[in-house]
Structure 1
Amino acid sequence: MTTEAPIPASAKTGVGAPSRRDFFWLRSLVAGGIAGCCAKSTIAPLDRVKILLQAHNRHYKHLGVFSTLRAVPQKEGFLGLYKGNGAMMVRIFPYGAIQFTAFDRYRKEGGFQGFYRGLTPTIIGMAPYAGISFFTFGTLKSIGLSQAPGILGRPSSDNPNVLVLKTHVNLLCGGIAGAFAQTVSYPLDVARRRMQLGSILTEADKCVSMCKTLKYVYKVHGIRKGLYRGLTLNYIRCIPSQAVAFTTYELMRQVLHLN
């Protein structure tokens, strides 16, 4: 069991002197927001390419993913790969802030078992991908620190009484969490996108609900070419994104004294 680090003498003196608990939620929100922005910036070039290809941009519609990645810097300069990323940060910061803070809240309420109890409302209240991703990372982190603390963990820089995962282990666990979450939730994403396209598809009448859409895609296209079509590109996007997101958040927790 971990104990709170002693409050510095400077925090005990003076009227209204701030303690380490002051503004805890604000600091937690900042840590989550920065983590989300770093993660999204990591895969910004892939997101730009995906949008260009989905929109059948006249300059790139005849190219594939990797050839477009090479063509954009040649035509628009290196920053062309990050076009629109600033606006994306405005959306991602509050999203990441709330997402990571909620995850942290479930994990302090009862430790490992409390995190399992929070799985159901997390999945119901958030996108399946996010719920599974956080659940997997939390599970891997708990198992790693309990089974091999000397190999996988180290004392937190802001609280030596608390063990945290080493940076490279954080990256690995975050990547695994992203890959697993993507694998489990991808068929739902395929079905959702088909339903969103609505009347554009010739088989729109067969895609009126999630269950009917999943059954139709499986029956006509199978698993690999239907339910999991395009999964490889999402692996390329989600694995580094989640690895950076979780690692940045864990580092920011130490920088902002959240441990």
Structure 2
Amino acid sequence: MTSEVTISTSRTRLPKPGYKDYYWLRSFIAGGVAGCCAKTTIAPLDRVKILLQAHNIHYRHLGVLSTVFAVRQKEGFLGLYRGNGAMMIRIFPYGAIQFMAFDHFKKLLNKKRGASEHVNRLMAGSMAGMTAVICTYPLDMVRARLAFQVKGEHRYTGIIHAFKTIYLKEGGFAGFYRGLVPTIIGMAPYAGLSFFTFGTLKSAGLNHAPDLLGKPSLDNPDVLVLKTHVNLLCGGIAGAIAQTISYPLDVVRRRMQLSAILPDSDKCRTVFQTLKYVSGEYGVRRGLYRGLSLNYIRCIPSQAIAFTTYEFMKQILHLN
């Protein structure tokens, strides 16, 4: 059963749904929808990023835009979305767990004295990102393998076949977690800085320019939220800052995920070995930061849409 509580506002008296018992579920759904919207928008760029990061033999001599056109010409328009089915299966629980875990960890840390709100926000974001990665990493592994395939050279026929093949030929469940360590190491600063930057910009905007940047929440007029275009701007800035710092570890993660199907697999077995090999073989700019320009193009709108969608879903699902 739900109870209806009337809250008094300066504008009107509105019924407040009694969804408290299902807060975690609504938060889970809001995060999942936000993740799916964000990733669907930049799915073609994600595919190109994976091809460039791992130096796919068919596209390693090309740049970002030329790779986009080459993929479309060689594999058709749907080639830009190869692996996106696995991505959607992964990203809904990933986004759901990440946003839900962030809210949980932030509330937990705020109850403890001694640390500032900014520190708590950074720590909560880092822990939320790591939690989401650990829970959904096998799906990310399968998605990377499918996205790396080129038309006419299929090693896997689909998601289920990829799962079976990796399990049988790459050491069972351990094969699904290849590259987990650099992912966690990279996710800690990425998610932490992303949530920290967005939260800090949001707080600053609503505190210093509420009339210019804010508007009443749809589910609770007493609560101010950022206007849509401001949300998009703050989310984009958060994504750009976080991505710049953590990108080399993202390259290492992809290399380790794809090591079993790359000719130089024996040189990418550990984090430090992969870092040394990639930087030594290709250099810092063309190795550890290869594809970064593409990542700016994809991560800025991705984070902008993710945070904006989540903030909107919070209003729709009465999370404010």
Kept in 1: contact 2:105–2:127 (CA 8 A) = no
Distance 1:228-1:5 versus aligned 2 partners, 3 A rule:
farther
| Counterpart Cα distance in 2 of 1:71 and 1:246 | 32
Aligned residue in 1 for 2:295 = 234
Aligned residue in 2 for 1:56 = 56
Offset of residue 178 of structure 1: 0.5
Confirm whether residue 148 of structure 1 aligns to residue 235 of structure 2.
no
Within 5 Å, give how 1:164-175 maps onto structure 2. Answer: 164-175=225-236
Offset of residue 166 of structure 1: 0.6
Secondary structure of the structure 2 residue equivalent to 1:161? coil
Secondary structure of the structure 1 residue equivalent to 2:223? strand
RMSD: 3.6
| Counterpart Cα distance in 2 of 1:45 and 1:100 | 24
Q: Give, as a single letter, the amino acid of the residue that structure 1 aligns with 2:104.
A: R
Kept in 2: contact 1:108–1:114 (CA 8 A) = no
Aligned residue in 2 for 1:24 = 23
Aligned residue in 2 for 1:47 = 46
Q: What are the ranges of 5 or more consecutive residues in structure 1 without an aligned counterpart? A: 12-17
TM-score (norm 2): 0.64
Distance 1:131-1:221 versus aligned 2 partners, 3 A rule:
same
Q: Give, as a single letter, the amino acid of the residue that structure 1 aligns with 2:223.
A: V
| Counterpart Cα distance in 1 of 2:18 and 2:233 | 34
| Counterpart Cα distance in 1 of 2:284 and 2:72 | 35
Kept in 2: contact 1:5–1:161 (CA 8 A) = no
Offset of residue 118 of structure 1: 4.8
Within 5 Å, give how 1:1-259 maps onto structure 2. Answer: 6=7, 19-52=18-51, 54=54, 56=56, 63-74=62-73, 77-108=76-107, 110=110, 113-114=116-117, 116-120=119-123, 122-123=125-126, 126=130, 127-128=187-188, 129-193=190-254, 197=259, 201=264, 204=267, 208-210=270-272, 224-225=285-286, 227-259=288-320
Secondary structure of the structure 2 residue equivalent to 1:117? helix
Secondary structure of the structure 1 residue equivalent to 2:319? coil
| Counterpart Cα distance in 1 of 2:242 and 2:289 | 13
| Counterpart Cα distance in 1 of 2:309 and 2:280 | 42
Distance 1:44-1:145 versus aligned 2 partners, 3 A rule:
same
Q: Give, as a single letter, the amino acid of the residue that structure 2 aligns with 1:101.
A: M
Q: Give, as a single letter, the amino acid of the residue that structure 1 aligns with 2:95.
A: G
Larger displacement relative to structure 2 (166-175 or 232-241): 232-241
Percent same amino acid at aligned positions? Answer: 64
Offset of residue 216 of structure 1: 7.8
Provide the aligned length of Structure 1 versus Structure 2: 247
Secondary structure of the structure 1 residue equivalent to 2:313? helix
Distance 1:93-1:193 versus aligned 2 partners, 3 A rule:
closer
Deviation string 1:76-100 (CA, Å, 9 cap, x unpaired) is 5544432332332111101100101
| Counterpart Cα distance in 2 of 1:227 and 1:73 | 26
Secondary structure of the structure 2 residue equivalent to 1:154? strand
Offset of residue 143 of structure 1: 1.4
